[in-house]
Every structure is written in structure tokens, then in C-alpha cells.
């Protein structure tokens, strides 16, 4: 008689999944407020928002991934930061619309579940959720041995937030003569890694420290995607602040044009800020054309605030007082 085949024999360890869920319960619980009515492990996350102080609440949602930045994490065997990357990226995407984050859900898929790796990834989700004031109310852990190699995994996340309808920020107030004020990124954030890896790893190992750098290339590439929620909270109620652009895939122009009204365009002064040395290294080492750099990377600018000229001084002062390093990097002109 043939030997019976179990689910574990096919590469799926149900007990490992249950062990992971048990191990993360307490840290996930720390992201919950009174609005969360469910515990992790149920069929759905229950969230009871309090909208009594809002006139016309509008839910705002976004879903994203971390991309091939994960390959750097695999090479470094460092898994506690990519979860933070994902939460912060998603939070930024709804914050630029004026929304406050409510809750986050994650999807973690892997070839063979390593509970220690899973714990570290999810601890990153929980840390960033606490920092951004949103609840981690659920997720999915999928073990798929025929899709991923044993040590590989992929991540996706969904954020849901809320904004009062009259406070939605769309960019429709942007007009000719407005200024572009850029805020520094913390490295590549979560975009451009396919190009960066192709260039950098053709010459360097992930543990190498290039000349002029104070940490190895792997750590440099794993810098955490910055959350701009505190800055946006500070600025969104200020007079003359007309729009926000989160600089992700597509670069500065590709993202900023998403909020600019028809007939206008962003005129960027590309030499108005100092590009971080990592971008310079990529461009020089790979002989990457400037157009490709501008399309693939944030080039050191993670968030752009579009403000009226009359509001620029007050906005710059508020940002500097908050510890930011803003730079006027362009204007809005006729298309």
C-alpha cells in the first residue's frame, strides 16, 4: 500500500501557521483601541469607528506592496523593517488625500513558513501601525511551496482611513505660480529596486560598504520608507497648502502630475537640492540616463507640498520648526 500523504508532506505546515498566529497576538493587540471589536484569528476584523465629530465622513483606502526591496532583505536576512516600509507607504498614500488612517490588513505569502521570519515581518507591521495610530486588525499568512522558494516571501497591505468630505485634498486648488516644497526621503523608500539591484550588485556584495558610505550597501538599501503623516497633519489645515504628492513609482513628475489640474504642469528645478550619494552611485556606476533616474527614483524627495507663493514662508517655517529640511524645488506653470 502507498504511504499516506499529509498536507505537511506537500509543503504546507498548518501547525507552524497556528504557532505564528499565537506568537503575534500580544503585539498585534497593542495596536488596538476601543474601536477594534475582534481579536486576531477570526474570519474578519471588526472595527467600530466613531464619526460623531465629522460632518460627512469619507473612507479612503489603498493597497500596495514592497516590491523587490524584499530581495535585499533576503540577502541581508533582515526582516523587521519591510513591514514598516509597507505600512508607512500605504499610510502616506491616503494621508496625501487628507485622510487619517484607521486600520491596516496584511498579506504574507511564503514558500515554507519560518515562524521566526514571519514574527519579525509582522512585528514591523505592528510597530509602524502603533507609530501611525492605526490598528492592525487582520491578515493572511499563505504557505505556497510551488510558488515561492523556501526562504522567499511576498507582502501586500491594505490601509483604510477616513476624511471629512469638505477636507479632502485633491489638488484642485493648485494654480499657476504655486511653489513646490520638497521634503527629504529616507533613501529609495520602496521604489526603483529592480534597477538599483541590477546596477549595484553587478559590482558590490550586499555586505560591502562603498567609499563615502558609513554603512554596508544592504543596510543603506533597507532604510525605512518614511511616514509623512505627522507633517501632513501639520500642514493640511494651513492656508495656502493646495496639494500633496507622495513620490513613489514614477518619480517626482509622474506622481506630482496626478494632482495638478489640467492645463498646468510642475516645473522642477532639478539642481535645487543635493541628491543623496546612493542615487549618485547608481547613476555613475550604471551609466543610467537622467531621464531613467527621474522616472525610477524619488532622488531624495519623498513628499512634495504644493503651496501658494504667499503661504511659502509660513509653510517653510512650520516645517523647519518641526525638524524637517524643506527645499523649494520648483513651480507650477502652464502646460
Q: Which of 306, 129, 312 lies closest to 229, judged by CA?
A: 129
Considering the four listed CATH numbers 3.40.50.720, 3.30.1330.10, 1.10.10.10, 3.40.50.280, the one that applies to the domain covering 14-167 is 3.30.1330.10
pLDDT at 317: 98
How do residues 220-254 score in pLDDT, each as one tens digit?
A: 999 999 999 999 999 999 999 999 999 999 999 99
How do residues 75-112 score in pLDDT, each as one tens digit?
A: 999 999 999 999 999 999 999 999 999 999 999 999 99
Q: What is the mean pLDDT of the chain?
A: 96
pLDDT at 170: 95
Question: Environment class of residue 50 by beta-carbon count within 10 Å: exposed (0-12), middle (13-18) or buried (19+)?
Answer: exposed
Instruction: Please tell me which residue, 132 or 13, carries the higher pLDDT value.
Output: 132
Measured between alpha carbons, how far is 250 from 246 in angstroms, rounded to an integer? 11
What is the helix (H) or strand (E) element at residue 301, kind and residue range? strand 301-307
pLDDT more than 90, % of the chain: 91
pLDDT at 158: 98
Contact present, 221 and 196 (Cβ < 8 Å):
yes
Measured between alpha carbons, how far is 249 from 225 in angstroms, rounded to an integer? 13
Confidence of residue 53 (pLDDT cuts 50, 70, 90): very high
pTM listed for this prediction: 0.96
Confidence of residue 52 (pLDDT cuts 50, 70, 90): very high
Per-residue pLDDT, averaged over 295-318, amounts to 98
How do residues 169-200 score in pLDDT, each as one tens digit?
A: 999 999 999 999 999 999 999 999 999 999 99
User: Cell 511653489 identifies what position?
Assistant: 179
pLDDT at 5: 83
pLDDT at 14: 87
pLDDT at 94: 98
Per-residue pLDDT, averaged over 60-78, amounts to 97
Q: Where are the domains of the chain?
A: 14-167, 179-334
pLDDT at 265: 98
Residue 244 in 3-state DSSP? Answer: strand
Question: Can you spell out the DSSP letters for 82-145?
Answer: HHHHHHHHHHHHHHTTTPEEEEEEEEEEESS--HHHHHHHHHHHHHHHHHHT-EEEEEEEEE-T
Per-residue pLDDT, averaged over 294-307, amounts to 98
Q: Which of 34-43, 54-63, 244-253, 289-298 is least confident? A: 34-43
Residues 179-334: name the CATH superfamily. Answer: PurM-like C-terminal domain (3.90.650.10)
Amino acid at each position: 500500500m502507498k504511504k499516506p500523504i499529509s498536507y505537511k508532506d506537500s509543503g504546507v505546515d498548518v501547525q507552524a501557521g497556528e504557532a505564528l498566529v499565537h506568537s503575534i497576538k500580544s503585539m498585534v493587540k497593542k495596536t488596538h483601541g476601543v474601536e477594534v471589536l475582534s481579536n486576531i484569528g477570526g474570519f474578519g476584523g471588526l472595527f467600530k469607528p466613531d464619526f460623531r465629530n465629522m460632518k460627512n465622513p469619507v473612507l479612503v483606502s489603498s493597497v500596495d506592496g514592497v516590491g523587490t526591496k524584499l530581495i535585499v532583505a533576503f540577502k541581508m536576512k533582515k526582516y523587521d523593517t519591510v513591514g514598516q516600509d509597507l505600512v508607512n507607504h500605504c499610510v502616506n498614500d491616503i494621508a496625501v488625500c487628507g485622510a487619517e488612517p484607521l486600520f491596516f490588513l496584511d498579506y504574507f505569502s511564503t514558500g515554507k513558513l519560518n515562524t521566526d521570519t514571519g514574527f519579525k515581518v509582522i512585528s514591523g507591521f505592528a510597530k509602524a501601525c502603533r507609530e501611525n495610530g492605526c490598528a492592525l486588525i487582520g491578515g493572511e499568512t499563505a504557505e505556497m511551496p510551488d510558488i515561492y522558494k523556501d526562504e522567499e516571501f511576498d507582502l501586500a497591505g491594505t490601509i483604510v482611513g477616513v476624511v471629512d468630505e469638505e477636507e479632502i485634498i485633491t489638488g484642485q486648488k493648485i494654480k499657476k505660480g504655486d511653489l513646490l516644497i520638497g521634503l527629504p526621503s529616507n533613501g529609495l523608500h520602496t521604489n526603483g529596486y529592480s534597477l538599483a539591484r541590477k546596477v549595484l550588485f553587478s559590482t558590490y556584495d550586499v555586505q560591502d560598504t562603498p567609499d563615502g558610505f558609513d554603512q554596508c550597501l544592504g543596510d543603506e538599501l533597507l532604510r525605512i520608507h518614511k511616514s509623512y503623516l505627522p507633517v501632513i497633519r501639520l500642514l493640511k489645515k494651513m492656508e495656502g497648502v493646495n496639494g500633496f504628492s507622495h513620490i513613489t513609482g514614477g518619480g517626482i513628475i509622474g506622481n506630482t502630475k496626478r494632482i495638478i489640474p489640467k492645463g498646468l504642469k510642475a516645473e522642477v528645478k532639478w539642481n535645487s537640492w543635493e541628491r543623496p550619494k546612493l542615487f549618485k552611485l547608481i547613476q555613475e556606476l550604471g551609466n543610467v540616463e537622467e531621464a531613467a533616474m527621474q522616472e525610477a527614483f524619488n532622488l531624495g524627495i519623498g513628499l512634495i507640498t504644493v503651496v501658494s507663493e504667499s503661504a511659502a514662508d509660513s509653510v517653510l517655517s512650520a516645517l523647519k520648526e518641526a525638524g524637517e529640511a524643506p527645499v523649494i524645488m520648483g513651480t507650477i506653470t502652464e502646460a
